[in-house]
Structure 1
Amino acid sequence: MISQNGFVSSIKILEMSERPLVYFKLDDSSCLIARHSLNFLADVEDGMRIAAVGEYNGRKQFVVKKYAVIGETKIMMEFEMMSSNY
């Protein structure tokens, strides 16, 4: 397993299913995530910093097995905004 960290950009859903296939860039690396993709879409948006663990496939895309957001997740920020409005 290889670990990487960096800033996320270009999030795209490539295939809609029970477990969507999501493409994103982590700094300059092309990445794919399927296993925890719904959580990833709820937690991460462009510009956020994450740490990811995975392996490269034959197309030199980094296939993410696990990830962690460094700092606050998107859900945490939205919850704080909602609670501050009340």
Structure 2
Amino acid sequence: MDQRAFNGKLLADPKVLKLSPLLIFAKIADETGGIHNCLIHQHGLNFLYQATVGAHVALYGHTNQRKQFIVTHFTVVASSASVAS
């Protein structure tokens, strides 16, 4: 698997695709303008709690056969709520 990392901005609210096991879908725009469809499994509830629309995130993971980015580690750098206050 080809592991890579990138920084980006959350374009829309994360969506819960599956509850058991938890699977979260997020659409991220990277710094070069590319849009990535991301799947978050590990620590998905933390991602739902921390990430809001417009939040800057740092992601690390790999791409699957369907060209979806599977996130293994993430950090929410700044959410729009914390930037505004």
The alignment's TM-score, normalised by the length of structure 1, stands at 0.77
CA distance in 1, matches of 2:47, 2:62: 17
How many residues align? The count is 75
Matched residue, 2:11: 9
More strand by share: 2
User: RMSD in angstroms over aligned alpha carbons?
Assistant: 1.9
Unaligned ranges ≥5, structure 2: 30-34
The alignment's TM-score, normalised by the length of structure 2, stands at 0.78
Ranges of 4+ aligned residues in structure 1 off by more than 2 Å: 71-74
CA distance in 2, matches of 1:72, 1:15: 24
Displacement of 1:16 in angstroms is: 1.1
- Does structure 1 retain, via aligned residues, the 8 Å contact 2:17–2:23? yes
Displacement of 1:73 in angstroms is: 8.4
CA distance in 2, matches of 1:16, 1:73: 26
More helix by share: 1
Unaligned ranges ≥5, structure 1: 82-86
Asked which structure has the greater CA Rg, the reply is 1
- Does structure 1 retain, via aligned residues, the 8 Å contact 2:52–2:79? no
